[in-house]
Amino acid sequence: MKKLFLLTTLFMMSALFAQQATNTLEGVFTTKAKDELYNPLKFDGKGRVTIGEFDEVGYEFTERNDSVIIFVEKTVFIFKKEKNQLKGISDWVDKKVYKSNLKSFENKPQSNPKLAQRANWMVENYDINFKNNATYLFDFDEEALNQKLKENEAANAKLCKEGFDESCKVVFAYKFAEQSGGVFETLNAADDIKLKPNKELQQLAQRVIDLGNPDGYGLFYTYYYFIGEKEKAEQFLQKGLDLGSAYCNEISLNSALSEFGEGLESEIENLDEE
């Protein structure tokens, strides 16, 4: 019995250590593929990687076992470590091989407590918000899907409470959808959405800012835009742009493209009338 208990304990410990996340990969990885947009990959050993020669801000990454996960906007790039190579195994980088001058990989523990915590949060972020999520709409009926979304929201709310800004943004999206009539209704309604003032949404946006992420200003923009205070929304958007918020840049770009499309459509209509 003691031997069985010892083996069980060792197995649990090995499983725990096998899942230990880090973000200490450092070095430049390049691919020989012609006209490759995502080249080179420059890892800084502190949880960020730039993609391409002109990328200055970079994206967050985390490591678990022999995998490297890069969080690129609304998707992830996943690589497997092999000798001195990174082999792409996910969409956008599938079968692409990046090499470095490193002789081998080693999952070094992160000595900075905040960065170590960030690495663990990013792994949870992947498991909750990215892993297998593409199959939800196909593998679940409506009731099961709604249950899954509730579980997802609760998991993100837990991380948000712990201090993980990215999960606070996800919770904001869920709460926004709830106030707008539901996830699918929100997606279909688009600009017809009209929100009522809501303190919980304001608190979530402010929490993201307090956690050091300027994307919170973009959340405030979204909130005030849809309750009808568009002038105030623009002020928050500009503040986020000034602080380098990626989300605010996305909002600004989409707005410019929308205005361009509307202007082009108007010109075509005028030509048709002539």
Quick check: is 94 in a domain? yes
- Asked if 138 and 263 sit in the same domain, the reply is yes
**What total of structural domains would you count in the chain?**
2
pLDDT at residue 27, as a whole number: 93
Average pLDDT over residues 49-68: 93
Question: Do both 80 and 173 map to the same domain?
Answer: no
Place of tokens 């090995």: 14
Domain that holds residue 35: 26-100
Mean pLDDT of the region 126-152: 78
Per residue, the 3-state secondary structure of 162-204, as one string, reads HCCHHHHHHHHHHHHHHHCCCHHHHHHHHHHCCCCCCHHHHHH
Q: Are residues 170 and 228 part of one domain?
A: yes
Residues 56 and 151 in one domain: no
Query: Is 192 found in the same domain as 263?
Result: yes
Say whether pLDDT at 259 is over 70.
Answer: no
Q: What is the mean pLDDT of residues 120-127?
A: 96
Asked whether residue 8 is assigned to any structural domain, the reply reads no
Same domain, 96 and 136: no
Q: Residues 45, 25: contact at Cβ < 8 Å?
A: yes
- Residue 37: which pLDDT band, with cuts at 50, 70 and 90? confident
Cis bond leading into 109, ω under 30°?
no
Q: Are residues 163 and 237 in the same domain?
A: yes
Q: Is the pLDDT of residue 118 over 90?
A: yes
87 in any annotated domain: yes
| Across 76-82, average pLDDT | 95
Q: Could you tell me if residue 14 is inside a domain?
A: no
Domain boundary among 100, 115, 141: 100
What letter represents residue 77's amino acid? F
Q: Are residues 137 and 259 in the same domain?
A: yes
Same-domain status, 48 and 171: no
Question: What mean pLDDT comes out for the span 110-136?
Answer: 89
Q: Who wins on pLDDT, 248 or 101? A: 248
Residues 218 and 92 in one domain: no
Query: Does 227 fall in a domain?
Result: yes
Confidence band of 11 (pLDDT split at 50, 70, 90): very low
Listed ranges 28-37, 179-188, 233-242; the one with the highest mean pLDDT: 233-242
Q: What is the dihedral of CA 190, 193, 198, 200, to 10 degrees?
A: -20
Does one domain contain both 176 and 256?
Answer: yes
The reply to whether 178 and 59 lie within a common domain is no
Is 185 within a domain? yes
Per the domain annotation, does 121 fall within a domain? no
